[in-house]
């Protein structure tokens, strides 16, 4: 079975053996740097020497001027509200988690709350159901999932990172669509439909029973807080099913949705149909707001077999293209760009396994932003600075770019920090899924804990990595220019 972000866990149907487990957004422009986090030596942190950092930065710095010390500090969220109880394959309770974004808390335009960020839940705890039972009988199809708490309502969370290394939830805003709470079940909307089907568990019903698809089903993966034209706070989100871009008011009411359509129409808030070629469970993963622009990134390259589009795929398993979508909030126009991830064959990482975790705007131009690029093993976790310019190709509604039949010029990009060696030795969840910054020296990363299902299924006490859901990485010199 699998949680909405990508640990692979298979659950034997009607059996008790577990084979394996599986499981934005972004910073507003950093115009105010008055909220630098304080580092307290008594809290969990790692000090990385210049020798350990050597080679980790691809900056225009002389080797002799590399920072003498980088501080990495973890924040433990020990007090989170219970969500529900799982009854199969064993009984256990779980709490809030599955956080998949990071965005600065902006009290008024340009005025940021010190040491506070926003994040959002994904679709909640869910597990893949293995197709065959222990006797070889076919019970489920590929993509069938067990949702222990089908009515799980995702929320936007306001998090405070305290000086003593503790993390605290200071506000929780339940998300709503069409006048009712959202959930993580597969969607009944045609433009959000996938091959996945949800199942609940109840001994009196067989024990698994089919769950009805819902128009309020979303898999949220990115978040940004900003202000609308009237100066009122609002949230932008992305989700993986469509994939879709969503707009919400400050109370969590989703009032606009952009999803793929074969008849792309600005007035109808639609996106190019080619985005339906996204791989299963690999839709939009990162989002940022930069001035009048909203930018969203596909987690992975488009599916070589065509994904959920119903069309022939591009057929190129080695394409490095991640599509970046940019919406103009003023006129509704939509553009697409190509970001080429770097080749990671030396690390044993295939193209399809390189992912975008999140985006973070560097200014208000809509052209400069950070990309958090990673793989699940965390052997690869890098921070990229990307730039859109006049010569960057505006992609059309075709997979010819991925197949190699159409020429294109990707975003300009450079690696500004290799973050993987800086996190060695820290007890953290595997998946880094949110990025923002307090200033040009201090990054904030949020991790998805998959609701700590690994420890629960293994009958192990909750590990530190089930609590350490955010880190700050403080460099003594700026990583980038921001304004």
Residue 297 belongs to what domain range? Answer: 24-84+94-123+155-182+216-474
In a domain, 187, yes or no: no
* DSSP single-letter state for residue 214: B
Handedness of CA 443, 357, 273, 225 (dihedral sign): negative
Q: How confident is the model at residue 356 (pLDDT cuts 50, 70, 90)?
A: very high
Is residue 205 classed as helix, strand or coil in its secondary structure?
helix
Identify the pLDDT of residue 280: 86
Spatial CA neighbour of 285 closest among 251, 318, 249, 325: 325
At residue 275, φ and ψ (nearest 5 deg) are -70, -15
* DSSP single-letter state for residue 247: E
CB burial of residue 54 (10 Å; 0-12, 13-18, 19+): exposed
Contact 108, 213 (CB under 8 A): no
- The whole-angstrom separation of Cα 434 and Cα 452 is 18
Please report, for residues 73, 166, 311, 357, 419, the alpha-carbon distance to residue 431 in angstroms, rounded to integers and kept in the order given. 17, 20, 31, 8, 13
| Domain tally, the chain | 1
Residue with tokens 């940022």, as numbered in its chain: 288
In a domain, 132, yes or no: no
Is residue 53 classed as helix, strand or coil in its secondary structure?
helix
Pairing state between β 18-20 and 10-11: antiparallel
Query: 253 pairs with which residues across the strands?
Result: 176
Mean of pLDDT values over 295-314: 95
Spatial CA neighbour of 235 closest among 356, 154, 135, 308: 154
In a domain, 1, yes or no: no
| pLDDT tens-digit map of 37-64 | 332 323 344 433 333 333 333 332 222 2
Count CB-CB contacts under 10 A for residue 164: 10
Mean of pLDDT values over 13-28: 26
Mean of pLDDT values over 67-92: 85
- The whole-angstrom separation of Cα 3 and Cα 105 is 28
- The whole-angstrom separation of Cα 167 and Cα 157 is 12
pLDDT at 234 over 90: yes
User: Quick one: what percent of the chain has pLDDT higher than 70?
Assistant: 81
In a domain, 201, yes or no: no
Which stretch of DSSP H or E encloses residue 296? strand 293-298
Identify the pLDDT of residue 401: 98
In a domain, 207, yes or no: no
Identify the pLDDT of residue 462: 66
Q: How confident is the model at residue 283 (pLDDT cuts 50, 70, 90)?
A: very high
Locate 478 and state its tokens. 């700026």
Name the residue with higher pLDDT: 63 or 318: 318
pLDDT at 267 over 90: no
User: Quick one: what percent of the chain has pLDDT higher than 90?
Assistant: 61
pLDDT at 265 over 70: no
Mean of pLDDT values over 25-38: 34
CATH number of domain containing 304 = 2.120.10
Identify the pLDDT of residue 379: 81
Count CB-CB contacts under 10 A for residue 109: 13
> Mean pLDDT lowest for which of 140-144, 180-184, 212-216, 462-466?
462-466
Count CB-CB contacts under 10 A for residue 425: 10
Give the list of residues 6+ apart from residue 136 with CB closer than 8 angstroms, or none: none
- The whole-angstrom separation of Cα 19 and Cα 133 is 12
Contact 12, 130 (CB under 8 A): yes
pLDDT at 456 over 90: no
Is residue 86 classed as helix, strand or coil in its secondary structure?
strand
Pairing state between β 412-418 and 431-439: unpaired
Q: How confident is the model at residue 481 (pLDDT cuts 50, 70, 90)?
A: confident
In a domain, 140, yes or no: no
In a domain, 11, yes or no: no
- The whole-angstrom separation of Cα 217 and Cα 237 is 14
> What dihedral angle (degrees, nearest 10) is formed by the CA atoms of 72, 155, 84, 242?
-100
> Mean pLDDT lowest for which of 265-269, 292-296, 368-372, 384-388?
265-269
The b/e string for 86-99 (b: 16+ C-beta within 10 A; e otherwise) is: bebbeeeebbbbbb
Query: 70 pairs with which residues across the strands?
Result: 48
The answer to whether the peptide bond before residue 89 is cis (omega within 30 degrees of 0) is: yes
End-to-end CA distance of the chain: 44
- The whole-angstrom separation of Cα 356 and Cα 3 is 17
Mean of pLDDT values over 311-335: 95
Is residue 454 classed as helix, strand or coil in its secondary structure?
helix
Spatial CA neighbour of 444 closest among 24, 9, 4: 24
Please report, for residues 90, 138, 204, the alpha-carbon distance to residue 134 in angstroms, rounded to integers and kept in the order given. 17, 10, 21
Please, where are the H alpha helices in 361-469? 400-403, 453-457
In a domain, 13, yes or no: no
The b/e string for 442-464 (b: 16+ C-beta within 10 A; e otherwise) is: bbbbbbbbbbbbbbbbeeeeeee
At residue 467, φ and ψ (nearest 5 deg) are -110, -35
């Amino acid at each position: 079975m699998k949680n909405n972000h990508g640990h692979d866990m298979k659950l034997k149907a009607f059996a008790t053996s577990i084979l394996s487990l599986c499981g934005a957004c972004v910073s507003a422009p950093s115009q105010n740097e008055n909220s630098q986090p304080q580092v307290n030596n008594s809290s969990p942190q790692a000090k990385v020497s210049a020798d350990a950092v050597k080679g980790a930065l691809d900056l225009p710095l002389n080797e002799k001027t590399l920072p003498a010390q980088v501080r990495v500090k973890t924040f433990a969220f020990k007090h989170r509200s219970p969500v529900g109880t799982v009854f199969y394959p064993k009984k256990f309770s779980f709490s809030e988690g599955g956080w998949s974004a990071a965005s600065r808390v902006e009290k008024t335009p340009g005025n940021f709350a010190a040491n506070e960020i926003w994040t959002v839940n994904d679709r909640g705890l869910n597990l893949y159901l293995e197709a065959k039972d222990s006797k070889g009988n076919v019970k489920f199809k590929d993509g069938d999932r067990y949702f222990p708490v089908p009515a799980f309502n995702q929320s936007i969370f306001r998090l405070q990172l305290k000086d003593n290394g503790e993390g605290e939830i200071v506000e929780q805003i339940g998300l709503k669509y069409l006048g009712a709470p959202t959930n993580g079940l597969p969607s009944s909307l045609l433009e959000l439909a996938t091959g996945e089907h949800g199942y609940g568990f109840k001994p009196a019903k067989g024990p698994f029973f089919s769950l009805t698809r819902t128009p309020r089903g979303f898999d949220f993966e990115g978040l940004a807080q900003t202000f609308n034209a009237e100066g009122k706070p609002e949230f932008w989100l992305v989700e993986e099913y469509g994939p879709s871009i969503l707009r919400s008011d400050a109370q969590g009411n989703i009032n606009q949705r952009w999803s793929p359509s074969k008849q792309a129409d600005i007035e109808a808030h639609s996106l190019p149909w080619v985005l339906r070629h996204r791989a299963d469970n690999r839709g939009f993963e990162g989002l940022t707001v930069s001035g009048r622009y909203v930018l969203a990134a596909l987690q992975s390259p488009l599916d070589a077999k065509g994904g959920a589009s119903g069309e022939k795929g591009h057929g190129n398993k080695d394409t490095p293209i991640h599509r970046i979508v940019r919406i103009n909030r003023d006129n509704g126009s939509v553009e697409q760009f190509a970001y080429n991830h770097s080749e990671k064959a030396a690390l044993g990482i295939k193209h399809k396994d390189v992912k975008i975790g999140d985006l973070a705007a560097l200014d208000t131009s809509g052209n400069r932003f950070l990309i958090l690029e990673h793989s699940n093993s965390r052997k690869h976790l890098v921070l990229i600075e990307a730039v859109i310019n006049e010569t960057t190709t505006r992609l059309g509604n075709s997979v010819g770019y991925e197949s190699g039949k159409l020429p294109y010029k990707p975003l300009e990009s450079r690696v500004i920090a290799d973050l993987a060696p800086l996190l060695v030795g820290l007890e953290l969840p595997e998946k880094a899924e949110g990025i923002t910054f307090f200033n040009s020296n201090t990054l904030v990363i949020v991790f998805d804990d998959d609701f700590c299902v690994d420890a629960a299924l293994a009958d192990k006490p909750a590990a530190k990595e089930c609590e350490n859901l955010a880190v700050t990485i403080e460099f003594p010199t700026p990583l980038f220019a921001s304004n």
